[in-house]
Amino acid sequence: MWDYTDKVKDHFFHPRNVGTIEDPDGVGEVGSLACGDMLRLMFKLDEAGRIRDIKFQTFGCGSAIAASSALTELVKGKTLDEAQKITNQDIARYLGGLPEQKMHCSVMGREALGAAIDNYRSGGVAKRTLEGRVICTCFGVTEKQIETAVRENGLRTVEDVTNYTKAGGGCGGCHPEIEKILARTWETDAASASPRKKLTTIQKIRTIEETIDREIRPHLESDGGGIDLVDVEGDRVVVALRGLCSGCAAAGVTIKDFIQAKLREFVSEDLVVEEEDS
Q: Which residues are catalytic?
A: 35, 105
- Please give the Cα distance from 240 to 234 (Å, whole number): 18
Judging by DSSP bridges, how do beta strands 51-59 and 37-45 pair with one another? antiparallel
Q: Between the CA of residue 228 and those of 23, 128, 209, 242, what are the distances in Å?
A: 47, 42, 9, 7
156 neighbors 163 (Cβ within 8 angstroms): no
Please, which residues bridge with residue 60 across strands? Answer: none
CA pseudo-torsion sign 193, 204, 90, 181: positive
Strand order in the sheet with 51-59: 26-32, 37-45, 51-59
Q: What are phi and psi of 8, to 5 degrees?
A: -65, -45
